[in-house]
Each structure stands twice: as structure tokens, then as C-alpha cells.
Structure 1
Amino acid sequence: MYRYCIYPKEIAIILGKSYTHSCQLVRTIKDAYGITSKRSISIKEFCEYMDLPHDDIFNMINQSTMSLRGKSA
């Protein structure tokens, strides 16, 4: 199963920024796309806003979650 949402902690790792900066970026992206505060942003929305390659980010996030699942099983 694949994940389609991205969280500030992952954004911080991908961009090499602080968690606080990543939270501010998430709020900025939500404002830009008119997303309510309760909804997460998608990997696609993040990539479009930051002009990053969707496939690379999607695979990076889903490979890391798959490897974590493999270790706990």
C-alpha cells in the first residue's frame, strides 16, 4: 500500500530544513491550494509547489515506509 500524503518531518529531511520551517511551508502550501487546516497535503501538491520531480519524491517516501514495515514484521 502506498502513501500519498507528506508530513512536515519528511519535508524537513528532503529539503534539509528545520521542522519548524517545514511546518510553515506546509501552511503556505495549504494557503496556496485552499486546503483546510485539517487535511494533509499530498505528495503531488508538495512537488508541484516546490517544482520537484513527483516520481522521485513519491518513491523516496514510499520506499522508506516500506522498509520500516519490513523491519517491524
Structure 2
Amino acid sequence: MKIVRACIFPKDVHCLTGRSERYGRKLLQDIKKHFGKQPHQFVTVEEFAEYSGIKEEIITNYLSQVS
């Protein structure tokens, strides 16, 4: 069984959305604020999917291809 990452990084946002990595950093900050997370905490695939509206299976398929 292949292990898929549970967290999202700015480069992942860049590849999934086609936007810049800087946009990815800003978006992850907004998601952390939305979910009441502290700066050192990670954004999970589920949280990113809920916030962005991108289906979770699309994100996990991307992460499994990249890893």
C-alpha cells in the first residue's frame, strides 16, 4: 500500500490551481485562519478540499502521483 501525504504545501497548491507559489502560501494562511489553526500546524487534505471546493479524490490522486 502506498502512503499518501496528509498535508498540503504551497507547491501543491501551485500545481493543483495553476496559480503562483506565493498565492499558495497566502491561501494556506487563509485556510489556517479559517479553521483556527496555529501557524506551526499543517493544513490537511480534507481541510484544503473543504475550503477550496476541489474534490478530495482529485487532491489525493495528485499527491499519489507526485510522491
Q: Please, what TM-score do these two structures have when normalized by structure 2?
A: 0.90
Who is 1:32 aligned against?
Answer: 34
Deviation at 1:2, TM superposition (A): 2.1
Q: Note the alpha carbon deviations across 1:16-62, whole angstroms, 9 max, x for none.
A: 01111110000000000001100110011001001111011112112
Distance 1:34 1:62 in 2: 28
Q: If you compute each CA radius of gyration, which structure gives the higher value, 1 or 2?
A: 1
Q: Residues of 2 paired with 1:64 and 1:38: CA distance?
A: 24
Q: Which has the higher contact order (CA 8 A, sep 6+)?
A: 2
Q: Percent identity?
A: 28
Structure 1's unaligned 5+ residue stretches are 66-73
Alignment partners' CA distance in 1, 2:35 and 2:61: 23
CA separation in 2, counterparts of 1:62 and 1:42? 15
Two-structure CA RMSD over aligned residues (Å):
0.8
8 A Cα contact 2:13 2:24, kept in partner: yes
Partner of 1:10: 12
Q: How many residues align?
A: 65
CA displacement at 1:3 relative to structure 2: 1.0
CA distance in 2, matches of 1:17, 1:55: 20
Where do 5+ consecutive residues of structure 2 fail to align? none
**TM-score, structure 1 normalization:** 0.83
